[in-house]
Amino acid sequence: MAKVFDRITDDLQAFIAAQQIFFVATAPLSPTGHINLSPKGLDCFRVLSPNQVAYLDLTGSGNETSAHLQENGRITIMFCAFAGSPCILRLYGQGRTILPSALEWDSLQAQFTPIAGTRQIIVAAIDRVQTSCGFGVPLYESIGYRDNLVKWAAKKGEAGLQDYHKQKNQVSIDGLPTPLSHLKSS
């Protein structure tokens, strides 16, 4: 039932484009550290090449993915069909965080429609692509995206978001620094 690919095929890229949600998993090296699994929505994911993907990482209550990537780079991204033919797609690879101050920020950001609250871009080099059946996944109907985060970020404004990042996004729940850890808390 499972199939393994060395790249994202055109068919798999079309499958990715049709999904309304994806999940990102990372973990610290410490065996007692917390594994992070985050759902992502909105139009924030792009296939850059058959072995490279990126997504806009929006401001959240934590910054676990970024901390784990800085420590060890391991990332798994999962797409799951909740409508149509069943399929689960996992992308395994090495990820990194791109901050707005990075040289490649402008060229990467140009791949996306701007979303209020974007704090960084996660880029992953994919070395294993795997599908599985998804026969047990229930069918759901998408009725749209929530706009809470976008409205919250717009209300906070750029300065408010920067303050929030300083207060909430500099270390993981396990105390690992994130790429934002250079920010000075107010």
Task: Give yes or no for residue 43 having a pLDDT over 60.
Answer: yes
Output the pLDDT for position 185.
59
The predicted model scores a pTM of 0.95
Beta strands in the chain (DSSP E): 3-5, 22-26, 36-40, 45-49, 52-58, 74-80, 88-98, 118-132
Which CATH number is 139's domain given?
Answer: 2.30.110.10
Range of the domain at 52: 3-182
Q: Taking residues 36-57, what's their average pLDDT?
A: 97
Work out how many domains the chain is built from and give that number. 1
pLDDT in tens, 77-136: 999 999 999 999 999 999 999 999 999 999 999 999 999 999 999 999 999 999 999 999
pLDDT at 182: 81
Residue 7's alpha-carbon distances to 20, 74, 92, 145, 174, in angstroms, are 22, 17, 10, 29, 33
What proportion of the chain, given as a percentage, has pLDDT over 70? 98
- pLDDT digit string (tens) for 157-186? 999 999 999 999 999 999 999 998 887 655
Average pLDDT of the chain? 95
